[in-house]
Structure 1
Amino acid sequence: MLGFFGPIYDHLAGMLRKQQGQLAYDTIDRINAWFTPFVLVAMTLAISCKQYFGQPIKCWTPREFSGSWDGYVHDFCFIENTYFVPNGTEVTDQARGDRHINYYRWVPLVLLLQAAMFILPYSIWNMFHKKTNINLKGSLRFFEDAMKKQEPAQACESFAREVWGKLIESRKSTGKFYGCQATINYFLLKLGFIVNCILQMVLLKNFLDVDDYFWGFFHLWNVEFKGTAEKDDSIFPRVVLCDFKVRNLGQQHQHTVSCIMILNMIIEKLYICFYFWLIFVFILTTVGMLNFGFQMLFRRHSLIPTNLNNKPSMNPTRSHRFIRKYLNFDGILLLTFIDSQFGAYRANQVIDGLIERFVAEQQPDSSTVTSLNEDHPERYVTFNHDTIPMDRLNRKVHSLIEEVDGPHPSAPVIEEKKTM
């Protein structure tokens, strides 16, 4: 057991220990990529010890068999195919060939395969996320190291400066998916977990040789509530039959013995629990992925751990622009992980640093003032005559007339207009 399963077990255990300290995790990710494979690896070790160092099967041998023959029967029936015949059914050749039970010998290897399948989506995501501009894991690791080496306020400022540079680079890029690469990869990670749950169900159905995907509900009802496991065909039979031949004086004598599958009682509880756990993980991951996609598409502001409108120099218009044009999808995803891993206070400090740079970039300078020589000058020089006093307007008109025509005898007319 140690020679065959040992390297596989050590490799999976090492991957789980390495992933335990990862920062780019949420609760659903931990359930899929760490907790579930950890339990499966632990169950693999327990079942392997029972198979190879315990007594997985116990057979009722004929009375004339000695101790050595008794051990031979137990070992033979474990490594050869056994079969199940319900109580009260005649043991015929057809019955012997209909229901062979041989999956239990492969349970440890299949459990390791199932554990690897749970780790695979995260491992694939781990290879591709490094090519994104934000580099979610790298950014979180940078912030963690900064928090250890600097004061918290300085670490948040350094991290905000680093993230701001990446956001500017994403905004200036002409790539189709720039600004949302990390978010798309993370969404595909969630989708990978869902596909894995479906493949796990298909694997269980074919490995246990059951008829449909609802076998867990029917088996739980028949075994635990109705107690008909030994009356009808069972997925995990506790009592099986085993045929073997004994050569004596040149003649072969066939014996059929009844055996108790002690190991099957453990495997039954394991796979029943795992079946319903798969359903739970599938529903949880699906709901989490849909909620994540809905918030990213329609409620991005709800993912920010603070009210941006309460920040200095911010208003609803600027907040909307800051979220949509500057943070974009990847920036918001990174801030949600800062919030979950380091707390809302540190996330607010990082947001303050980003807002400070955003507001500074929005301030107009002298180069943005429009000249009067540009087109449509009336937008900048028009004034309202109603705001000028009437006597000042009349004096200005009178002086202009004198400059052009000289003194005019009709000056009293101006006075009439004044009196009017």
Structure 2
Amino acid sequence: MFEIPLLKDFIGKISKPRTVHDSIDYMNYFVSASLLAFFALFTSGLQYIGRPIKCWVPNEFSSAWEKYADDYCFIQSTYYIPFSEEISNERSGHISYYRWVPVVLGIQALCFMLPNELWNAFIKKMAFDPKVIVTEARKLHNGTLSKRKEDIDNLADLVEDALHCYVERRPREFRFGDWTIVLLYFVVKISYLANVIMQLFLLDKFLGNNDLFWGFQLINNLSQGRDWQSSSLFPRVILCDFQVREMGNIRQHTVQCVISMNLLNEKVYLVLWCWFLLVAFCTAINLLIFTGNFFIPSCRRHLVLDYLARERSDYSKEELERFVDGHIGPNGVLLLTFVGNHAGARVIRDLIARLFTVYTIGQLSTSKNFQRHELSFRGEHATISEQSSSVSGALKRSADPLIKVHGFDTKSCFCRSEYVPKLVANQKSSLPM
């Protein structure tokens, strides 16, 4: 579908995939957020449990003064001057980000989760819940052949209900016709990409750097074994100015402090910078693939044809176009994509073949030549009577446990397809039992 090969398998090994997301979504809202949350807790422990800063004070300072200097220099802006330069009266190169590292990392983790929360909010506003269909599809891996065929038929009925029925669930719902889910999911995809790009800029501004690609220089320094003193981005030794009142006079002291946590901050932010670049690249590619697959009609049809061709070959190009564009629509293609991603190729092949069979029976039931075409539907999958009985069973969905469990009520549905009553009538008069 629109997954990136290899990356999907890698992400799938880390954790169980969700129902209406792909591996790139999971890479953003779970893996990235978890990585940031871990680093936030790790750096927070270093700051508030250990000693994040240690200052070298004059000999006349008591232990209380020394502790005061440590605490003051931790909360006050410090500055960095290379050892090769003399200390002047001008204070430049102020550094204050290190004490805010855990807080900012936590905020960044929340930002990566926002697009997923937006998508969940969209789903709650839809007329049907796509998670229900994907969850049911994931249960079809096991079972006997007859039981599995029955489950596929029920799942196909559920898909037909979802795509072609309007369910009164809430006073206000998103209604954009056949493009509802696709457009909303497209907005979420853009949100993921915008967020990770924003994170790269935020990283640069937070560290006080003016180079968005500072990571390349840092990697180059580390690979060549250059001393940390040559970089002002994560200095280990800084200077701090503070004033002390003595006998009514104010004395200013400049002390030299060691920020040992910057040794780890350097590695943490280098890992995050590389990860954000990878996520941005994968998300951009994923967005391009998604846009092409769903907004270019030929690509959208190919998503369905790729699975249908393995099960059936008795269709024309025009018939396929009517099935994909008119019957299931863009929403249906996206829904089938989610099913294929999480239930496997075998389930999606059987489901698409079943949906296409139901669609073809419905088309033939409206023609006067239904009797002449009857034998063409006998074959590998089922007889006409079995297929028609299964379709007519859609009229009794209110008694179907699968539908009842998830709250689908056929009395409140207004299906677009009008072939079911005609098919039932034809079945009673024409089809062998």
- TM-score, normalised to structure 2's length? 0.72
Identify which of 89, 92, 102 aligns with 2:96: 102
Identify which of 117, 120, 133 aligns with 1:126: 120
Change (3 A) 1:147 1:217: closer
CA–CA separation in structure 1 for the residues paired with 2:322 and 2:291:
20
CA–CA separation in structure 2 for the residues paired with 1:214 and 1:60:
34
Matches within 5 A, 1:85-164: 85-94=81-90, 96=91, 98-133=92-127, 135-144=129-138, 151-164=147-160
- Which residue is equivalent to 2:386? none
Change (3 A) 1:215 1:182: same
Are 1:257 and 2:258 matched, yes or no? no
- Which residue is equivalent to 1:218? 217
- Which residue is equivalent to 1:66? 62
- Which residue is equivalent to 2:286? 288
CA–CA separation in structure 1 for the residues paired with 2:151 and 2:141:
5
CA–CA separation in structure 1 for the residues paired with 2:341 and 2:18:
13
Change (3 A) 1:153 1:368: closer
Change (3 A) 1:271 1:54: same
CA–CA separation in structure 1 for the residues paired with 2:225 and 2:367:
85
Alignment gaps of 5+ in structure 2: 1-14, 167-173, 371-433
SS of match in other structure, 1:25:
coil
Contact 1:208 1:235 in 2 (8 A): yes
- Which residue is equivalent to 1:193? 192
Structure 1 residue 317: deviation in Å? 3.5
- Which residue is equivalent to 1:386? none
CA–CA separation in structure 2 for the residues paired with 1:146 and 1:346:
7
- Which residue is equivalent to 1:243? 241
Structure 1 residue 145: deviation in Å? 7.0
CA–CA separation in structure 2 for the residues paired with 1:364 and 1:292:
36
CA–CA separation in structure 2 for the residues paired with 1:141 and 1:221:
48
Give the aligned residue type for 1:293: T
CA–CA separation in structure 2 for the residues paired with 1:228 and 1:92:
24
CA–CA separation in structure 2 for the residues paired with 1:49 and 1:365:
71
CA–CA separation in structure 1 for the residues paired with 2:240 and 2:63:
18
Contact 1:135 1:182 in 2 (8 A): no
Structure 1 residue 312: deviation in Å? 6.7
Identify which of 255, 273, 284 aligns with 1:275: 273
Contact 1:87 1:231 in 2 (8 A): no
CA–CA separation in structure 2 for the residues paired with 1:365 and 1:164:
18
Structure 1 residue 191: deviation in Å? 0.8
Are 1:53 and 2:49 matched, yes or no? yes
CA–CA separation in structure 2 for the residues paired with 1:208 and 1:359:
62
Identify which of 71, 78, 91 aligns with 2:74: 78
Question: Which range moves more in the overlay, 302-311 or 334-343?
Answer: 302-311
SS of match in other structure, 1:22:
coil
Question: Which range moves more in the overlay, 296-305 or 309-318?
Answer: 309-318
Change (3 A) 1:310 1:231: closer
Are 1:317 and 2:318 matched, yes or no? yes
Change (3 A) 1:253 1:176: closer
Give the aligned residue type for 1:235: L
SS of match in other structure, 1:167:
helix
Give the aligned residue type for 1:216: G
Structure 1 residue 364: deviation in Å? 4.4
Structure with bigger helix share is 1
CA–CA separation in structure 2 for the residues paired with 1:316 and 1:292:
23
Are 1:353 and 2:351 matched, yes or no? no
Give the aligned residue type for 2:242: F
Contact 2:308 2:352 in 1 (8 A): no
Change (3 A) 1:119 1:318: same
Percent of aligned positions with the same letter in both sequences?
A: 33
Deviation digits for residues 204-256 of structure 1 (CA, Å, limit 9, x no counterpart): 22212212322222333345536254245x11111101122333444433322
CA–CA separation in structure 2 for the residues paired with 1:107 and 1:326:
53
RMSD: 2.8
SS of match in other structure, 2:229:
coil
Aligned length: 344
Contact 2:55 2:257 in 1 (8 A): yes
Matches within 5 A, 1:320-335: 320-335=321-336
Are 1:183 and 2:182 matched, yes or no? yes
CA–CA separation in structure 2 for the residues paired with 1:310 and 1:231:
65
CA–CA separation in structure 2 for the residues paired with 1:142 and 1:124:
24
CA–CA separation in structure 1 for the residues paired with 2:48 and 2:310:
66
CA–CA separation in structure 2 for the residues paired with 1:122 and 1:160:
28
Deviation digits for residues 69-103 of structure 1 (CA, Å, limit 9, x no counterpart): 33222222212221111112121221x2x121111
Alignment gaps of 5+ in structure 1: 1-18, 370-420
Are 1:299 and 2:291 matched, yes or no? no
Structure 1 residue 290: deviation in Å? 0.6
- Which residue is equivalent to 1:204? 203
Contact 2:119 2:188 in 1 (8 A): yes
Structure 1 residue 344: deviation in Å? 1.2
Change (3 A) 1:299 1:133: farther
- TM-score, normalised to structure 1's length? 0.74
